[in-house]
Amino acid sequence: MSDTFELNAEVRTDMGKGASRRLRRLADQIPAILYGGDKAPQPLTLVRKDLEHALENEAFYSHVLTIRVGNSKEKAILKDLQRHPAKDLVMHADFLRVRDDVKLKVHVPIHFLNEEDCVGVKTEGGIIQHAATDIEVFCLPADMPEYVEVDMAEVAVGQIVHLSHIKLPEGVESVALSHGEDYDLSIASVLTRKGGIDEEEEAVEAAAEEGEAVDEAGADEATADGEDTSED
């Protein structure tokens, strides 16, 4: 993993929802917490622009991070983000401490390759359906992949790509598959395009024309009624 991430944080002493709101509104900071390992949970504050800039990089979500608090540094991974329900604003961040010799569970994004050249799409007229966008893996921090790849080039209509089809790096294990073959979940598939493109477009156009006809009929009726009631 070539990317490295370091966040500067400060210890948060003013607790509670009111204090968190003041941090976000007045100081432009984000409340956070660092927990796990053999240490007590540590409430922190982060500079909003620094965190948001880091979040723009997909690798940030699946990397071991360095969190600097004063003169000390701790290794951690991003475990959770709470966002505003209506706005794309980070409200709180959770970080989990990690140790080099202790395996951890982490969600790693899936990169789907060659979708445009997929046999089921290019020659058979199908469409790709994604059943998952990430995979949960179990590994040491040093072995944690930035992402895993799924090649869709040879997938035909009706075929399903499962977890077992993903080639994971050495030292990395699928959490789901560790529970047995019954947990070999679907990742993606190529489906038949029902009715074909032309029929779909015709159906959309027919629905639009029907809507226009209803609107015109309603307008004519309203005009007729208006001739008698316009002076009321």
Residue spans of the domains in the chain: they are 6-97, 104-191
- Of the pLDDT bands very low, low, confident and very high (cuts 50, 70, 90), residue 213 is low
pLDDT of residue 85: 82
Chain length of the chain = 232
DSSP lists the bridge partners of residue 46 as: 9, 30
Domain 6-97 has CATH 3.50.50.60: no
CA dist., res. 76 & res. 36, Å (int)? 9
pLDDT of residue 97: 95
pLDDT of residue 22: 55
CA dist., res. 203 & res. 57, Å (int)? 41
pLDDT of residue 162: 97
Among the CATH numbers 3.90.1010.10, 2.170.120.20, 2.60.40.10, 2.70.180.20, which is that of 104-191?
Answer: 2.170.120.20
pLDDT of residue 227: 46
Helices assigned H by DSSP within the chain: 17-26, 48-55, 119-122, 196-229
pLDDT beyond 60 at 130: yes
Largest distance between two CA atoms of the chain: 85
Averaged pLDDT, 216-229: 48
With a CB cutoff of 8 Å and minimum separation 6, the contacts of 121 are 115, 127, 128, 190
Give yes or no for a contact between 34 and 74, defined as CB atoms under 8 angstroms apart.
Answer: yes
- The whole-chain average pLDDT of the chain stands at 82
Cα distances (angstroms) measured from residue 40 to each of 16, 36, 76, 97, 101: 18, 7, 14, 11, 20
Averaged pLDDT, 107-132: 95
pLDDT of residue 215: 52
pLDDT beyond 70 at 224: no
pLDDT of residue 13: 75
- pLDDT tens, residue by residue, 47-103: 888 998 999 998 898 899 999 998 899 999 999 988 878 777 888 899 999 999 999
What are the structure tokens assigned to 27, written together? Answer: 């100081």
- Residue with the larger pLDDT of the pair 13 and 139: 139
Look up the pTM and report it. 0.71
What are the structure tokens assigned to 212, written together? Answer: 């226009």
Cα distances (angstroms) measured from residue 80 to each of 6, 21, 32, 34, 163: 17, 19, 10, 11, 24
CA atoms within 13 A on the CB side of 135: 34
Give yes or no for a contact between 64 and 97, defined as CB atoms under 8 angstroms apart.
Answer: no
| CA-derived radius of gyration, the chain | 26
- pLDDT tens, residue by residue, 24-51: 555 578 889 999 988 999 999 998 889 9
CA dist., res. 151 & res. 142, Å (int)? 25
